[in-house]
Amino acid sequence: GAGVSQTPSNKVTEKGKYVELRCDPISGHTALYWYRQSLGQGPEFLIYFQGTGAADDSGLPNDRFFAVRPEGSVSTLKIQRTERGDSAVYLCASSLEASARAQYFGPGTRLTVL
Amino acid sequence: QKEVEQNSGPLSVPEGAIASLNCTYSDRGSQSFFWYRQYSGKSPELIMSIYSNGDKEDGRFTAQLNKASQYVSLLIRDSQPSDSATYLCAVKSGGSNYKLTFGKGTLLTVNP
């Protein structure tokens, strides 16, 4: 079946602009996660959704970052007033449920802030 | 102290050899351990998971877990050039049944 999909695959923006990154999880997966991966680092947790609600947003770096999942499926990560330090690959993952053992990652969105 | 530590490498082995990748973690309450493979420019791909002490084998891959030593390893037998990638160790800590904490990854190069 279809895996996790993310759009766009690449996004180049200017400092100070607003961006939205989209994630479409595997069908039937109730848990959805956003991670951020900087060059040479492992992915770092940003936020976790169980259904429509953000169960844990403790990894979001600051209040410029926000994520929604209004219908319990597709999620959007929103970044306001982007900064050069936001440049990274943003990875989305999903799992059947939060305690499920396997998280499956999408291809990621490479964000570049000029 | 970083929660999950891996030798960043690069680790270079000849084709057909055994590659040994190591990972230590700081949270003694951790229960779930994962190895992901990440090719350059691609996303992480789950290759092994292990939850109890001992060895778990899947094809050419063997994961080993020692909770007393807070150590998990991945052995790749008969290494192939196609195994060349970064291998990420990930841990679900005792306080969370959903959040993965990753190491920085070990770059493995298998030379033909």
pLDDT given for residue A43 in this prediction:
97
pLDDT given for residue B47 in this prediction:
95
Contact B106, B13 (CB under 8 A): no
Q: Output the CA–CA distances (angstroms, integers) from residue B9 to A89, B6, B13, B55, B86, in the order listed.
A: 22, 9, 11, 23, 9
pLDDT given for residue B29 in this prediction:
87
Q: What percent of chain B clears pLDDT 90, i.e. is strictly above it?
A: 85
CA B35 vs. chain centroid, Å, equals 4
* pLDDT value at B2 more than 70: no
**Chain A residues interacting with chain B (CB cutoff of 8 angstroms):** 31, 33, 35, 40-45, 48, 55-56, 59, 91, 95, 98-99, 101-108
pLDDT given for residue B74 in this prediction:
98
How far apart are the CA of A24 and the nearest CA of chain B, in angstroms? 15
Chain B, 9-38: which have a CB under 8 Å from a chain A CB?
32, 34, 36
Cβ contacts of A42-48, under 8 Å, gap ≥ 24? A42/B4, A42/B88, A42/B90, A42/B102, A42/B103, A42/B104, A42/B105, A43/A91, A43/A105, A43/B44, A43/B88, A43/B100, A43/B102, A44/B102, A45/B99, A45/B100, A45/B101, A46/A77, A46/A90, A47/A77, A48/A98, A48/B98, A48/B99
Cβ contact B43–A45 (<8 Å): no
Mean pLDDT value across chain A: 93
pLDDT given for residue A100 in this prediction:
67
Mean pLDDT of A27-56: 93
* pLDDT value at B94 more than 90: no
Taking the C-alpha atoms of residue B9 and residue A40, their distance in angstroms, rounded to an integer, is 11
Cβ contact B42–A40 (<8 Å): no
Cβ contact A107–B43 (<8 Å): yes
